[in-house]
Structures are given as C-alpha cells and as structure tokens.
Structure 1
Amino acid sequence: MKRLKIIVFIAFFLLVLAACGSDETSGEDTTNESDDNSKSSETYDLIEDGKLTFAASGEFKPFSYMEDGKMIGYDIAVAEAIADKLGLEPVQQKAKFSGIVTGVKQGRYDIAVASHTITDKRLKQVDFSGAYYYSGPVIYTRPDSDIQSAEDLEGKEISVSRGSTYVEMAQEYTENIPQVDSDVVALQSLAKGHHDAVITDSITGQTAIDNGLEIENRGQLGVSEQAVAVAKDNDKLQEAVNKALKEMKESGELKELAMEWVGVDITEEPEELN
C-alpha cells in the first residue's frame, strides 16, 4: 500500500511539472509576440502605435490623386509598400504640397511620400531617404509660344507649384512667378492661355500631354531625385525606410510599381534626360 502511494505521488508530481512547463512556454511566446507588436512603434517614434501616417498632396497624377475618396498613385503605392515591409498599417493624410515638409518636421506625419525633390533648403527641416524615383525640370509652353529654350524665359511669366523647387529655378529668369496649388493646375492654366510658361517635372508634363493637354516640352533643365521625407530626430525610421526601398529596388517591386502607375521605369538614375 505504501509503495502504491509513492507511485501515485510521483505520477502526480510529474503531471504538475509538465503543466508548469507548458504554462511557462506559453507565457514566453505571448510576451515575445507582444514585444514584436510594440517594437516598431517604440523604435520609430510613430504618431500612432502600429500605424505609419504618411502625407501626400492627392493633386499630382499619376503620383497621388483622388479616386473614390482615397488617394492612389505611385507615391501612395510606394508608401503602402514601405508600411507593409515595416509591419505597420498605412494611414493616408492628404495635405497641401507646400505644407507637407513642415508637417513632417512638426510631427503631424511620420513620413511624406509626395514626390519631394531633395534640396539643401528642405534638408534643414527634415531628413530624406534615398531616391525612390528620378525626374527632371522641364519648360512647358503652348504650341504657339515663341519660347524655345531657357534663354527665352527672361522676364516672362512662369507659373510653378507653390512650395516646389521650381520656384527658385524660375527666379533665375524672372520675378513674375504665379504660384498655384499643384503642377497640374499650373499646366491646365497654361493650356487655357494663362502664363507664358510652366516649369515642372518631365513625367508630370508628359502625362498631361498624353491626356490631351495642348502644351509642349521646350527644354530639360536638369535631373532631380525624389525621396521620402522623415523627421530629423527619427533616425531609426529613416534607416527602416531606406532598407525597405533597397529591398523593393533589388526585388524589382519598385520598378513594377513605377510601370503600373507611371508607365515607364523611373527608378534608375538617368545619365541624361531628353
């Protein structure tokens, strides 16, 4: 009888140990999962836990424009792909282009994926990722214009998008620079007979021409790099964005998005744009 009691006690003790071990393992898994879920928010100093809030203008087809109440386009697709690679939920914020960089600086947006050209002036406010596409400023006029090159812009009325790098570029030729809310608005106004010329990027201009706008390319003024804006005190997020873009470029995903939304590969730095 005593032997039977010992055997029962040992069996019961082993069962208790097994149950405790199971609970400890389960507890460890839960803790790790919780840590993983919160890690990104703590590391990247996000506006909202588990979410990547990004800004774009929604007025720059094919890069960002409105459809069924949401922004779509190349910029938007890139932003959402970055969020996916970071394990975050993408949150769109539509904003006037001229105020987006300031919004990132002030913490209203985690990042901006809004076709911003990297410039010294902007680098004083925010940091940038590597380029996710390349473009270049072009002079656009109406077909009947006597403007044939940059030399002919002297003293002319040149319209540009407010807050864009083209403002400073236009100032090299004239003081008469009407600034509007977007490049598309400037080009539409030009086609209707307003202004003498518009300076905007080659892709936007060519897209407008392909969509029937009666304007013409009268000369390339350079090559520019478009990149993701990140707040200066958020180095970890900048590093993560760069890593995501590098993976997308190496896998061909970035090129695929460009072909889908823009129709040409704009992800490789050109030796020369014609």
Structure 2
Amino acid sequence: MKRKMTFFLSSVLLLGLLAGCAEKDQLPDGAKLIHKGEFIFAASGEFKPFSYVKDDMSLTGFDIEVGRAIAKELHLKPVEKRIKFKGIVEGVKTGRADAAVASHTINPQRSKHVSFSTPYYYSGPQIFVRPDSKIKTVQDLKGKEVAVAKGSTYADTAKRYTSNIKMYDSDITALKALSGGRHDAVITDFVTGKTAAKEGFKITGRQLIERSEQAVVLPQDNPQLVKDINKALENLRKDGTLARISKKYFGEDITKKPE
C-alpha cells in the first residue's frame, strides 16, 4: 500500500512538473510555443529566392527574412527549420515547428488541416517553357508533359490542363530539368521562374495563369499565435519592412495586394 501511495504521489508530482513546463512554453497572451523564447519556423530551402541554402549551409531568402522579422516583432529568437516542401504542412500540424514561412498558397484543401495568417505576399502560377516552345497559354498544355513541385498547389493547377504531370522535390529542380531539355513546361510561381531565367536557365515565361495569396501556416489549435502573427505582419506592412525585404530580393514590392 505504501509503495502504491509513493507511486501515486510521484505521478502527481511528475504531472505537475510537466504542466509547469507547458505553461512556460507560452507567450504572455497564451499563444503556445514549442520552446520558450523561440519562434521555430519551417521552410524548404529549395525555393530560391524565397528560401535557399548558402555555402555555409545556413538558410536565406525572402521567406527566411520575413520569418525573422516576425520573430523580432514577437520578441522571440528566430529558429529556422528545414523541411521538404511536401512535408511542411504536416510538420506544422504535428508540432515539428511553430509555423511555416514557406510561400504556402491559401486554399481550401490546406485549410482543412492548418490555419493561415493574413497574406504576406501575392503571387501567381505562370507557365515556363524553353524559348523555342510553341506553348503560349493553358490551352496549349493539353496532352503536354508539365513538371511541378511535390506538395505545391501548382500540381492541382496543372491537372486542369493536362494529365501528363511529372513531380519534383522543388520548383528549381523542375525548372533545371526543363532548361536541360526535359518536359514541355513547368508551372511555378512567376517570381521563382523569372529569377531562374535571370540566373541563366534556358527558360522563358508565358501565360500568368492566376493570382494567389501566400501566408504563414499555423496549427489550428493555436488561435492566439495566429492573432499575434497577424498583428506582427500588420506592423511589418505599416513600417515598410515587408516592402523593403521584397525589393531586396525581387526589385519590386510583391507584398502589396494587386489592384
């Protein structure tokens, strides 16, 4: 009996300690964090110029700087975590990161599993082909082989126009394959394609298919953190930080909602 009572008291004490730890991993307003004092955000590192790996293996890019700016607004230490793009939404959902600042398009399918912040930039899928291609619009994609990144919304876009789709781990590898003579086209973010063309890829842009809104991905069970990040983004818009970061990487402000 004494042994059972000791075990019971030890269990109660352990639960109390765990509860205390959980309480520490929160912002004062109740927003939950994986680690106290840190904002752990996911990015793929495969989506230049939004996120990519430097020679010293550290992450950089537009998304990375936005994530760091959000952390600064929240008075938290920014911690970047690399996750392959196709696994980022699941990673946030299962608690591997507090959020993802990784160029995710807001759409109904993802919204079933995660929450989104307000958009921090506006983009859109565009058709990219080799310069000698006769493909100009989505109507020309029928029956053509189109490459896209796994887990991206561009796969769903491509399925509207062709059933012949090839998947790559990243947009950059898909564009590199296209430049090297494989596939008929790639559908990707217009800024990514334009940047790749500037860096020497033998590709050119054709029809801009539509506009889309990109946002921070967050767990559905952390509504206060969504509110905090929305407030941080509002401040970063007002003080010009988002525009400054955008112009640094793209030479234009893609954070302003199109007319």
TM-based fold match above 0.5: yes
2:33 to 33, 37, 46: 46
Change (3 A) 1:120 1:39: closer
Residue 45 of structure 2: aligned partner: 58
Counterpart-to-counterpart distance in 2, 1:41 and 1:52 = 14
Which one-letter code corresponds to 2:208 in the other structure? Answer: Q
Is 2:68 the counterpart of 1:91? no
Corresponding residue SS for 1:116: strand
Change (3 A) 1:172 1:253: same
Report the Cα offset of residue 149 of structure 1: 1.2
Corresponding residue SS for 1:178: strand
**Which residues of 2 match residues 66-77 of structure 1 at below 5 A?**
66-67=53-54, 68-77=56-65
Report the Cα offset of residue 210 of structure 1: 1.1
Report the Cα offset of residue 261 of structure 1: 2.1
Counterpart-to-counterpart distance in 2, 1:174 and 1:158 = 8
Percent of aligned pairs sharing the same letter = 50
Counterpart-to-counterpart distance in 2, 1:42 and 1:106 = 22
Is 2:74 the counterpart of 1:106? no
Runs of 4+ with deviation above 3 angstroms: none
Report the Cα offset of residue 172 of structure 1: 0.9
Q: Is the 8 A contact 2:26 2:33 kept in 1?
A: no
Residue 167 of structure 1: aligned partner: 155
Q: Is the 8 A contact 1:64 1:74 kept in 2?
A: yes
Counterpart-to-counterpart distance in 1, 2:209 and 2:26 = 44
Q: Is the 8 A contact 1:63 1:262 kept in 2?
A: no
Residue 9 of structure 2: aligned partner: none
- Indicate the structure with greater helix content: 1
Corresponding residue SS for 1:268: coil
**Greater C-alpha Rg:** 1
Counterpart-to-counterpart distance in 2, 1:51 and 1:171 = 39
Residue 155 of structure 1: aligned partner: 143
Residue 166 of structure 2: aligned partner: 178
Residue 251 of structure 2: aligned partner: 263
Is 2:192 the counterpart of 1:229? no
Corresponding residue SS for 1:247: helix
Report the Cα offset of residue 169 of structure 1: 0.8
Q: TM-score, normalised by structure 1?
A: 0.83
Which one-letter code corresponds to 1:49 in the other structure? Answer: K
Report the Cα offset of residue 175 of structure 1: 1.4
Which one-letter code corresponds to 1:89 in the other structure? Answer: K
Which one-letter code corresponds to 1:243 in the other structure? Answer: K
Q: Is the 8 A contact 2:26 2:36 kept in 1?
A: no
Report the Cα offset of residue 262 of structure 1: 2.3
Q: Which runs of 5+ in 1 are unaligned?
A: 1-36
Report the Cα offset of residue 255 of structure 1: 0.3
Q: Is the 8 A contact 2:29 2:224 kept in 1?
A: no
Corresponding residue SS for 2:200: coil
Q: Is the 8 A contact 1:41 1:48 kept in 2?
A: no
Which one-letter code corresponds to 1:249 in the other structure? Answer: R
Report the Cα offset of residue 41 of structure 1: 6.8
Residue 144 of structure 1: aligned partner: 132
Counterpart-to-counterpart distance in 2, 1:115 and 1:159 = 19
